[in-house]
Amino acid sequence: MGHGGARKGAGRPKGGGQYGEPTQPVRLPHSMIPSVLDYLANKGYQLPLFSSKVPAGFPSPADDHIEQHLDLNQHLIKHPAATFFVRVTGHSMVDAGIHENDILIIDRSLPALHGKIVVAAVDGQLTVKRLHQSAQGKLLLMPANPTFQPIEINDENDIHIWGVVTNVIHAV
Amino acid sequence: MGHGGARKGAGRPKGGGQYGEPTQPVRLPHSMIPSVLDYLANKGYQLPLFSSKVPAGFPSPADDHIEQHLDLNQHLIKHPAATFFVRVTGHSMVDAGIHENDILIIDRSLPALHGKIVVAAVDGQLTVKRLHQSAQGKLLLMPANPTFQPIEINDENDIHIWGVVTNVIHAV
DNA sequence: TCACTTGATTTAAGTTCAAAAATCAAATAT
DNA sequence: ATATTTGATTTTTGAACTTAAATCAAGTGA
C-alpha cells in the first residue's frame, strides 16, 4: 500500500519556486505592491556595468566578465529624501554639457559651494546657473551670456538656491 | 468595572502603522528582502520632477506644484533584461556629448539604425561609435578622428554591435 | 517487461491567526 | 478637582498554519 516513503530527494524540489530560493512573507503597503513586484521581476534593476577599457571578446553581457552590477537609483541618488529632478528648458548651460530636455538630478542636502551648478528660483522661475563666490564672500549666479551682470544672492532679493546639480541625464 | 467600552475612535488608530496605509503579507525571496525594504523606505525612488519653465515662487519642492513623479529606473530602462551600462574611458565621443567616466545606458533590444550611437566590440575591446549605413547598405562604425577610415561591419572581421546607447549620465 | 496510475512526501505560496502596539475612557489615587 | 493607573478596544504585524504544487516510488494493468 505504501507509495513513496520517507527518502532523500522526494517531494517538490527545493528552490523550485518562482524565485529559486527560500521566501518569507513580509508585509507591504497596498499601494506599493505592484511596484515592488515589478522591482522583483526586474531583480531590483541591478544591471551589469562594463568598462569600455576592459577587453570584450565575449559578445554577450550574460557572461562572467562583468565589472559589477549597478542600480541607477542607488548609484545616482545618495539622499532620496533631499533629491529631485528638473527637466531643462532652453540652452543657457550648453557650455556645461546641459542641453534642452535633459534631466538634472538635484541634491538639496549638498552645500552650495563655489563653482557648483545649482538650481535657483529667480523672479519666480527655476533657472540653472553656475555658482560663484566673490572675494567678499558674496554668492553670485553667473549668467550664460557674459554681457549680463551676475545675480547676487542676498536677503533683499527673493532668490533661493534649491539644490546642487549632481548629474545630467541626456537622451542621445 | 468596565474600562473603556465599544465606541467610535477607540483602539489603535487606523493608518497609524509605519506605512500609514493597509498592508498585506507578500512572499519575497530572502536575498531581495533588504533591498526591497530600502526600496520601500525610499518610496520606490519616486522623486518629484520639476520643469525649469514652470514658475517657481515656492522655494520648497515639498509643495503641490510638482509636474510629476519619476523613478529613474522605470524612466530610463524600458527593457531591463536587455539593458546594461558602460563606463566611458577616453574622449573619443566628446562631440556627441559623451565624456570620460560617463555612464552609458545601452539597450540591446533596439535596432542598430543609421545615425545611432552604439557600443561595439572591436579587436576585443569595447568602443563607443556612431553607426552609419552606406549607400550600399553596409554598416560602418565612424571613428572620432576623420583621418582614420570607417570600420566596416561584416562577417570577415570579428566586430559585434552590443547595443544602442539610449542615455548618457554625466556627473557634473 | 514496460507504461501508466496512485499514494506518500516535501517544498512553495498564500491566508489566517494570535500577540503586540496604541488609543480611549472609566476607575482610582493624590 | 486633577493626575495617574488600569481595563477594553481596535489595528498592526510577524509568525504559524493550511492548501496547493511538484516529485519520487510503489502498485497496477497491458
- What percent of chain A has pLDDT above 70? 88
pLDDT of amino acid A30: 95
CB contact under 8 A, A80 and B45: yes
pLDDT of amino acid B1: 54
CA of A18 to C1' of D30 (A): 39
Chain A residues in contact with B70 by the CB 8 A cut-off are 85, 103
Residues A107 and A124 in one domain: yes
Flag whether pLDDT at A62 surpasses 50: no
**Cα gap B55→A123, rounded to integer Å:** 8
Residues B81 and B144 in one domain: yes
CB contact under 8 A, A84 and B61: yes
Residues A93 and A157 in one domain: yes
In a domain? residue A1: no
In a domain? residue A31: yes
Question: Chains A and B: how many Cβ contacts under 8 Å?
Answer: 255
Say how many Å lie between the first and final Cα of chain A, rounded. 70
Instruction: Show which residues sit with Cβ under 7 A of nucleic chain C.
Output: A 1-7, 10-19, 22-23, 25; B 1-5, 7, 9-13, 16, 25-27
Choose the final residue of a domain: A18, A52, A76: A76
In tens, the pLDDT along A143-160 reads: 777 777 888 877 778 888
Choose the final residue of a domain: A53, A76, A99: A76
Burial class (CB in 10 A: 0-12, 13-18, 19+), B44: buried
**Cα gap B82→B103, rounded to integer Å:** 16
**Cα gap A55→B124, rounded to integer Å:** 5
Instruction: Strand C: list positions under 7 Å from protein Cβ.
Output: 6-16, 20-27
* Catalytic residue check, A129: yes
Residues B89 and B70 in one domain: no
Residues B93 and B150 in one domain: yes
Flag whether pLDDT at A107 surpasses 90: yes
* Catalytic residue check, A52: no
Residues B130 and B66 in one domain: no
Choose the final residue of a domain: B40, B75, B110: B75
pLDDT band at A5 (very low <50, low <70, confident <90, very high): low
CATH number at residue B144: 2.10.109.10
**Cα gap A129→A13, rounded to integer Å:** 60
In a domain? residue B157: yes
CB contact under 8 A, A48 and B162: no
Residues A86 and A168 in one domain: yes
In a domain? residue A18: no
In tens, the pLDDT along A10-52 reads: 778 898 889 999 999 999 999 999 999 999 999 999 999 998 7
In a domain? residue A114: yes
Chain B residues in contact with A22 by the CB 8 A cut-off are 29-30
Residues A71 and A100 in one domain: no
CA of A32 to C1' of D11 (A): 20
In a domain? residue B2: no
| Number of structural domains in chain B | 2
pLDDT of amino acid A66: 57
pLDDT along chain B (172 residues), means of 10: 68 88 96 95 94 58 64 97 94 89 97 94 87 88 79 82 96 95
Residues A84 and A131 in one domain: yes
Catalytic site residue from A92, A109, A134, A138: A92
Residues A162 and A103 in one domain: yes
* 3-state secondary structure (DSSP) of residue A14: coil
pLDDT of amino acid B64: 46
CA of A24 to C1' of C19 (A): 19
A78 touches A108 (CB < 8 A) = no
Beta bridge partners of residue B86, listed in sequence order: A50, B104
Burial class (CB in 10 A: 0-12, 13-18, 19+), A154: exposed
What's the domain range around A86? 78-172
Residues A85 and A158 in one domain: yes
Q: Which residue of B has its CA nearest to A115?
A: B172
In the 3-class helix/strand/coil scheme, how is chain B assigned residue by residue?
Answer: CCCCCCCCCCCCCCCCCCCCCCEEEEEEEHHHHHHHHHHHHCHHHCEEEEECCCECCCCCCCCCCCCEEECHHHHHCCCHHHEEEEECCCCCCHHHCCCCCCEEEEECCCCCCCCCEEEEEECCEEEEEEEEECCCCCEEEECCCCCCCCEEECCCCCCEEEEEEEEEEEEC
Q: What dihedral angle (degrees, nearest 10) is formed by the CA atoms of B86, B92, B96, B101?
A: 40
A40: nearest Cα among B134, B40, B100: B40
**Cα gap B161→A23, rounded to integer Å:** 39
**Cα gap A3→A87, rounded to integer Å:** 67
In a domain? residue A19: no
Dihedral sign for Cα atoms in the order A113, B104, B125, B150: negative
Planar angle of CA A128, A130, A136, nearest 5 degrees: 135
In a domain? residue B26: yes
pLDDT of amino acid A159: 87
**Residue A87 CB coordination number (10 Å):** 20
Residues B58 and B115 in one domain: no
**Cα gap A138→B85, rounded to integer Å:** 41
